[in-house]
Structure 1
Amino acid sequence: MKLATWNVNSLKVRLPHLLDWLQQSQADVVCLQETKTEDANFPRAEIEAAGYQAAFAGQKTYNGVAILSRQPLQDVQVGIPGLADEQKRVLAVTVGTTRIIDLYVPNGQSVDSDKYQYKLKWLEALADWLKAELAQYPELAVLGDFNIAPEDRDVYDPAAWAGQVLCSESERAHFRALLGLGLKDGFRLFEQPEKSYSWWDYRQGAFRRNMGLRIDHILLSPALARRCTACTVDTAPRKLERPSDHAPVIAEIG
C-alpha cells in the first residue's frame, strides 16, 4: 500500500497537477490539505475518473482536507472529537484494516500570538484523540501538514529559525509527544539525504536554493512501521509552473 500526503495549497489551482501526479504515482491513499474548496465545489467527478473515491471537508478560501482512496472509505470522521473548532483541518477514514487520519495543523502565525496558543491547545487535543485511536486501531497512519519541523536537521537554517513558529521548542515537544504515543516518523525510519525538506517559500528563490523545512509528515503505528519499506519526498511537482509550495511525501507499506 502506497500512502501519500500533499498540501496542494488550493485544489482548484492545483487540480491538473494532482490528476497527473495520481496517474504517475499510483498512490493507493492520498491525504490532501489546504484544498480551500467548499464541499459543493469539490471535483468529485474528476477524482473518480482518475480511479479514486473521496471523502472531504472543506471551506471557502482557507483550510480544507480530503482523502482519496482506490478502495472504499468507511467510518468517516470530521474534526477532533470534543474539540470545538469550525476550521476544516481533520479528516479520518478507514481503508480496509487501516485507519487513516489527515491533518492540517494550525500554522500558529508567531509565538507571541493568540493563534500560537490555539495551535498548542489544538495539538494537545490531537494527542488525546490519537491515543484513543491507537488503542482502537493497531494499523493507524497519521498524515498531513503538521506545520512543525521536528529537529534542526529539518530546517535549512536552524539558527535563523530558532524559537520561531514551526520550530519552537513547545511545538517540537508536542510533536515528540505524538511519537511518545508509539507513533513512528516514517521518514526517519530510513537513511535520508541531508537537507531533505517538504516545503519551500515562494519567495527568495527558496526552492531553487533549497531553503526549506520538513513540515509534512507520515506517522505510523508500530504495526505499520514494521511493514514500511520506504518513505520519500517527491520534489517533482514543486518544479512545475504555478506549483504548491509543498511537495508530496510518500510511504510504502508492504
Structure 2
Amino acid sequence: MKLVTYNLNGIRARLQRLLEYLDREQPDIVCLQELKCADDALPIGEIEGAGYHAVWHVQKGFNGVAILAKGKQPELRQLGLPGDPDDSHSRYIEADIDGLVVASIYLPNGNPIGTEKFDYKLKWMDRLRERAASILAEERPAVLAGDYNVIPEDRDTFSRRAMANNALFQPESQAAFRRIVNQGWTDALRLLHPDDDRLYTFWDYTAGAWPRDAGFRIDHLLCSPQAADRLRGAEVHKWARGEEKASDHAPVAIELS
C-alpha cells in the first residue's frame, strides 16, 4: 500500500499536476492539504475520473484538507480537530480505509512569532496531541500525514540562520512536535533516511530556492506502532516539484506491507 501526503497549494491551480501525479505514481491513499477551494468548486468529477473517491473539509480561498482512496470510499471518522468549537479553519480530517486510520493535517503556519498566530499554532498542536493520543489508544494501524509546518531538527533546513525567526523553526514548535512523536509515533521519512541531511519536502518560490536546493522538511507521516511494523519504504517525490507550475511542496510517500 502506497500512502502519500501532498500539499497542493491550490487544487484548482494544480489540478493537472495532481492528475498527472495520480496517473504516474498510482498511490492507494492520498492526503491533500491547502486546497484553497470552496465545497462547490472542488473538482470531484475529475478526481473520480482518475479512479479515486474522497472525503474533504474545505473553505473558500484558505486551508482545506482531503483524503483520497483508490477504488474505494474512505469512511469519515472526524471532520475538524476537536477541542475548540470556535475554530472554523479547515485543517484536519480523519478517515478509515480498509482498517487503516488516516488523518490529513494542515497545521497552522504561526508567523509572525510573538503574535496570536503563533499562540494559535501551539494551542492547535496541543489539541492535535490529544487527538493523536486517542488514536494510539485504539491500538490500530494509523498514519497522521500532512504539512505540519514544523522543521523538527537543525538538519531539516538548508539554513538555520535563515529560519531563526520563523515560526516553523522555533524551539516551542519543535518541542510540541516532539511531544506528539514521543507518544509512540514513528517519523517514517526520517526513520528510513537517518543520515540524509538534505531531506527536504518544501522549496520556496522565491530567491531561487528550488534550483539551489534551499529547502526544508515540514511534510511528515507519523505512523502508529502497528503501522510502523508494516513500513517498507519512504521517499520524497522531488520530480513533482520540478514540474511546470508545481506546488512549492513535493509529495512524500510511504509504503506499507
TM-score for both structures, normalised by structure 2:
0.96
Describe the shift of the 1:207–1:221 C-alpha distance in structure 2 as closer, same or farther (beyond 3 A): same
In structure 1, distance between residues paired with 2:47 and 2:223: 26
- Whether contact under 8 Å (1:5, 1:249) holds in the other structure is yes
1:195 and 2:198 correspond: yes
Provide the secondary structure at the position in 1 that maps to 2:167.
Answer: coil
In structure 1, distance between residues paired with 2:77 and 2:12: 23
- Whether contact under 8 Å (1:99, 1:137) holds in the other structure is no
TM-score for both structures, normalised by structure 1:
0.97
In structure 1, distance between residues paired with 2:164 and 2:11: 32
Matched pairs, number: 254
Aligned to 1:79: 80
Q: CA deviation at 1:61?
A: 0.8
1:28 and 2:31 correspond: no
- Whether contact under 8 Å (2:139, 2:226) holds in the other structure is no
The farther-off stretch of 187-196 and 235-244 is 187-196
Q: CA deviation at 1:137?
A: 4.7
The farther-off stretch of 73-82 and 34-43 is 73-82
- Whether contact under 8 Å (1:163, 1:169) holds in the other structure is no
The farther-off stretch of 41-50 and 76-85 is 76-85
Which of 217, 233, 244 is the equivalent residue of 1:241? Answer: 244
Amino acid at match of 1:25: E
In structure 2, distance between residues paired with 1:160 and 1:240: 26
Aligned to 2:42: 42
Amino acid at match of 2:119: Q
Aligned to 2:61: 61
Amino acid at match of 2:242: K
Aligned to 2:187: 185
Q: CA deviation at 1:163?
A: 4.8
The farther-off stretch of 147-156 and 67-76 is 67-76
Q: CA deviation at 1:183?
A: 0.5
Q: CA deviation at 1:75?
A: 3.3
Which of 218, 221, 231 is the equivalent residue of 2:221? Answer: 218
The equivalences for 1:162-173 within 5 A come to: 162-173=164-175
Unmatched runs of 5 consecutive residues or more in structure 2:
none
Unmatched runs of 5 consecutive residues or more in structure 1:
none
In structure 2, distance between residues paired with 1:228 and 1:5: 15
The equivalences for 1:124-135 within 5 A come to: 124-135=126-137
In structure 2, distance between residues paired with 1:43 and 1:194: 37
What percent of counterpart residues are identical? Answer: 39
In structure 1, distance between residues paired with 2:231 and 2:149: 23
Which of 67, 89, 92 is the equivalent residue of 2:91? Answer: 89
Amino acid at match of 1:133: I
Render the CA deviation track for 1:7-64: whole Å, top value 9, x for unaligned.
0000000000000100111100000000001111111111111110011111111100
In structure 2, distance between residues paired with 1:175 and 1:88: 20
Q: CA deviation at 1:161?
A: 1.8
In structure 2, distance between residues paired with 1:157 and 1:203: 15
Amino acid at match of 1:10: G
RMSD: 1.1
In structure 1, distance between residues paired with 2:122 and 2:178: 13
In structure 1, distance between residues paired with 2:173 and 2:164: 12
Aligned to 1:18: 18
In structure 2, distance between residues paired with 1:211 and 1:194: 12
Amino acid at match of 1:236: W
- Whether contact under 8 Å (1:53, 1:72) holds in the other structure is yes
Render the CA deviation track for 1:177-201: whole Å, top value 9, x for unaligned.
1111100000111135331201111
**Which runs of 4 or more aligned residues in structure 1 lie more than 6 Å from their structure 2 counterparts after TM superposition?**
none
In structure 2, distance between residues paired with 1:226 and 1:163: 37
